[in-house]
Amino acid sequence: MRTLQEIKDTIDNRISDSSSNPIRLGEALEIIKISVEDVIRFSGELGKKSLITSQQPINLLHEVVKSSLIEKGVNPILIHPPLGHANGEKTLAGFLKFKKQDICVFPNDKTPRNESIDFNGLYNTGTTEPYGELFSEHILSVNVRSQLSSLGNNIDTMFERTYAEPLNLHRRLPKMVLGEVYLISVRELNSTQVALRNPVYKPFTASTANYLEKYIKGFAALNLRSSQRDDDFKYERVALVVADFFQTPVKIYTTTQDLLNDNLLPANSNASMDNLNYEGLTRTLLDVYEKRFGTGILT
């Protein structure tokens, strides 16, 4: 049985090794599953909460995205934090506030410069930022989020935040290319059993299907930003990773039909996973980037 610290060390070591041994999505989800289940066996709900709030499991997905960008031709030295490193996120100035970005790819043809922020928002008078508007607009950014508890928890707040984050950046940087990866678990852990240090999952319910439909429709409404003004609230590409951590290996749902087959959507649902899969995320982001700014800037 592994302690919480041993689990964290294992994750950190795998992240450090990703520069020579890239982490794929399936492996990252397997490590998350095993880590959460092991920490529950060791210390129950307290250990589970500590592990998840540490952000270490989700950092595995950061490395998945970085590796995918590099495989598509992005120069590793332009990626922040670098591949194999969990620390070093960059903070960018948006219309209302500064916001830390999980993954940034800097342009190779622009020079950052300190610039004052001379408009209203949540900034104090005289606030400056270290990159400047032109450089910031040429950064490609991808953020990674997760919901590993009940799908119904804080769903309205989650969508408000997800809606506001691209709006904050796009209002100041209208050409900026933004991506989002959001991981959800379709099976909730049984809190009563977790308290007894048993990693037991609840069965699917009609409520699960209804909430999952909301997630799919909500993220579809925030996906595939094409213009540079009228849809500032959208991301250029969203990936909704729908996973069943009860199964071994972890099952990743990539099609609408797969979800219908397992009764994970209402029978008459018109929700669609089209253009929401993780596969294609980085290629779409890079294609949009090259169309807006030209080729060779991120290589």
Question: Per-residue pLDDT tens for 104-163?
Answer: 999 999 999 999 987 767 788 889 999 999 999 999 999 999 988 777 777 888 889 999
Residue 110 lies in a domain: yes
CA dist list (Å): 28 to 78, 178, 211, 260: 23, 22, 24, 25
Q: Indicate the average pLDDT of the chain.
A: 93
Flag whether the pTM goes above 0.85: yes
Q: What is the pLDDT of residue 207?
A: 86
Per-residue model confidence as pLDDT tens digits over 183-201: 999 999 999 999 999 999 9
Q: Is the peptide bond before 81 cis (omega within 30 degrees of 0)?
A: yes
State how many domains the chain has.
1
81 within some domain: yes
**Is residue 31 in some structural domain?**
no
Distance between start and end Cα atoms, the chain = 44
User: What is the predicted pLDDT for the residue at 22?
Assistant: 96
The residue that leads in pLDDT, 248 or 205, is 248
Name the residue range of residue 219's domain: 73-293
The answer to whether residue 203 sits within a structural domain is yes
